């Protein structure tokens, strides 16, 4: 094994850390949850599908420890429920990963209701998850905001998704400046 002394990167062990992950049942969120659990972090995840939740928790259980709930972050009260249950399970979390998203297409291919739903999950619940993270973590811990290359690679078939992800990129940068290290 190569020693880490020449990497110029501080390595923080994950063992004993506690992580909340929105959208942790599929895709990038699931991969993050499994990796964190395999490194010794305890995780609490959410996703919209009970089947995906069960599958993700089974995989997490193979490598570490975690729990979660199936719910829809677009539904009123469900975001608060998720963070309340996460705190109840984890106690004092020190990592929050904001990741949940649903696909969205071109403006001309989506109904008004589909657009409203995508904005509710991909933008409103995203920002409110960051607010919950800030409140839970106070002056300790890490907030990780997962974005998308769609904010920068603007395809004509993804106008709604690209617009939301560009908004998230701006939000993430502004939040980093507000909450980042103040040394």
Q: Which residues are catalytic?
A: 161, 165
E strand intervals along 23-181: 42-47, 65-70, 95-98, 142-145
Is the Cα dihedral 91, 57, 21, 48 positive or negative? negative
Taking the C-alpha atoms of residue 78 and residue 71, their distance in angstroms, rounded to an integer, is 7
Q: Which residues are paired to 45 by β-bridges?
A: 21, 68
SS (H, E, C) 135-180: HHHCCCCEEEECCCHHHCCCCHHHHHHHHHHHHHHHHHHHHHHHHC
């Amino acid at each position: 094994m190569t020693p880490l002394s020449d990497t110029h990167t501080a390595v923080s062990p994950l063992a004993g850390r506690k992580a909340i992950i929105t959208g942790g049942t599929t895709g990038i969120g699931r991969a993050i949850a499994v990796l964190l659990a395999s490194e010794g972090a305890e995780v609490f995840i959410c996703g919209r599908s009970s089947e995906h939740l069960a599958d993700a928790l089974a995989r997490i259980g193979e490598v570490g420890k975690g729990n979660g709930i199936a719910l829809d972050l677009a539904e009123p009260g469900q975001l608060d429920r998720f963070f309340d249950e996460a705190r109840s399970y984890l106690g004092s979390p020190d990592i929050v990963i904001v990741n949940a998203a649903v696909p969205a297409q071109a403006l001309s291919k989506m109904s008004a209701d589909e657009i409203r739903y995508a904005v509710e999950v991909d933008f409103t619940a995203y920002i409110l998850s960051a607010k919950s993270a800030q409140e839970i973590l106070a002056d300790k811990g890490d907030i990780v905001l997962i974005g998308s290359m769609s904010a920068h690679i603007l395809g004509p078939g993804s106008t709604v998704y690209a617009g939301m992800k560009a908004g998230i990129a701006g939000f993430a940068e502004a939040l980093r400046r507000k909450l980042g290290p103040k040394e």
